[in-house]
């Protein structure tokens, strides 16, 4: 797929771009069914992320925490599936066009976000990935329709040119993550209103997040990948780069203190 001039201009202006219906309905159904089957007996040790927030017994995220780096779990059904879509041939040319160079994959995640789940406060991805030079890029695949009612994705247009900010504490009653980045004056979050099969691309400086899922019965599942440009020299030690040919790429570990310096601990795990 080649992006149109209008799509390239929109990405350059806003820092994000939604491509509608990129993943077919039968593929979305397979992704949904495979991850739900994997979670059918509860959180999976070594795969499910129980670090974030303070889930209690009645917290929906205690039952359905996000899954981190599923592509590394070849022994589980979600492993080969996540790796296949992380290196999907439909994504590579789009990422290459947005980066202006070859992309490498470095992370996979799956969010279940069941009814009643807290949101993810506004943040910037490259605070966690610490890609140098440049920034990372996310491909966010909607596995369910995602809107304001079930905790849809929000992006703040025009924040793609910002530096990475040191986050403030978030409100744990509303968000399962602990970091909040305040948009600059005059910049407001925009609800993306995605349909299942849509893919949202956004760069690592874009301020983004999601609202709580206030619906009675709607999950807001998503399969998410992060990528870095081939010119990347350093990255956080939580991530390993892979070419679209499946080869591991050696990239040095970023050891600096990030935008917070010593005022705030470094991220304690992958984002």
- Residue of 263 and 27 predicted with greater confidence: 27
Q: Count of alpha carbons within 13 Å of 122, Cβ hemisphere only?
A: 21
Distance CA 8, CA 13 (A): 9
pLDDT band at 191 (very low <50, low <70, confident <90, very high): very high
pLDDT at 263: 44
Size (the chain), residues: 271
Phi first, then psi: what are they for 78, rounded to 5°? Answer: -70, -20
pLDDT band at 51 (very low <50, low <70, confident <90, very high): low
Which residues are CB-contacts of 131 (< 8 A; sequence separation ≥ 6)? 204, 228, 229, 232, 234, 235, 254
Dihedral, CA of residue 196, residue 199, residue 204 and residue 210, to nearest 10: -20
Domain spanning 5-43+59-260: CATH 3.10.100.10: no
Per-domain boundaries in the chain? 5-43+59-260
Give me the mean pLDDT over the 83-100 stretch: 98
Taking phi over 0 as left and psi of -120 to 50 as alpha, with beta for the rest, 112 belongs to alpha
Could you read off the pLDDT of 114-132 as tens digits, one per residue? 999 999 999 999 999 999 9
Distance CA 198, CA 18 (A): 7
pLDDT band at 32 (very low <50, low <70, confident <90, very high): very high
Distance CA 61, CA 38 (A): 15
Strands 252-253 and 234-235, bridge-based pairing: parallel
Give me the mean pLDDT over the 57-67 stretch: 91
Could you read off the pLDDT of 198-248 as tens digits, one per residue? 999 999 999 999 999 999 999 999 999 999 999 999 999 999 999 999 999
Q: What average pLDDT does the chain have?
A: 94
Could you read off the pLDDT of 260-271 as tens digits, one per residue? 864 445 555 666
DSSP code at position 55: -
Distance CA 113, CA 121 (A): 14
């Amino acid at each position: 797929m080649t992006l149109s001039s209008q799509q390239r201009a929109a990405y350059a202006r806003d820092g994000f771009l939604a491509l509608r219906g990129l993943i077919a309905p039968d593929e979305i159904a397979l992704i949904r069914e495979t991850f739900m089957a994997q979670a059918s007996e509860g959180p999976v040790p070594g795969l499910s992320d129980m670090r974030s927030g303070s889930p209690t017994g009645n917290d929906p995220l205690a039952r359905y925490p996000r899954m981190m780096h599923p592509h590394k779990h070849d022994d589980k059904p979600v492993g080969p599936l996540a790796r296949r879509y992380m290196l999907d041939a439909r994504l590579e040319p789009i990422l290459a066009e947005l980066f202006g160079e070859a992309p490498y994959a470095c992370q996979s995640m799956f969010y279940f976000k069941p009814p009643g789940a807290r949101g993810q406060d506004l943040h910037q991805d490259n605070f966690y990935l610490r890609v140098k030079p440049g920034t990372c890029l996310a491909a966010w695949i909607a596995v369910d329709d995602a809107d304001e009612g079930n905790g849809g994705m929000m992006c703040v247009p025009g924040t793609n040119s910002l530096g990475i900010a040191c986050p403030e504490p978030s409100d744990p009653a509303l968000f399962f993550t602990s970091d909040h980045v305040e948009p600059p004056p005059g910049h407001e979050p925009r609800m993306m209103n995605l349909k299942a099969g849509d893919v949202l691309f956004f760069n690592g400086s874009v301020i983004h997040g999601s609202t709580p899922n206030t619906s009675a019965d709607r999950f807001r599942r998503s399969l998410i990948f992060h990528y870095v440009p081939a010119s990347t020299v350093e990255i956080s030690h939580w991530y390993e780069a892979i070419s679209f040919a499946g080869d591991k790429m050696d990239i040095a570990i970023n050891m600096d203190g990030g935008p917070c310096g010593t005022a705030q601990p470094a991220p304690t795990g992958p984002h």
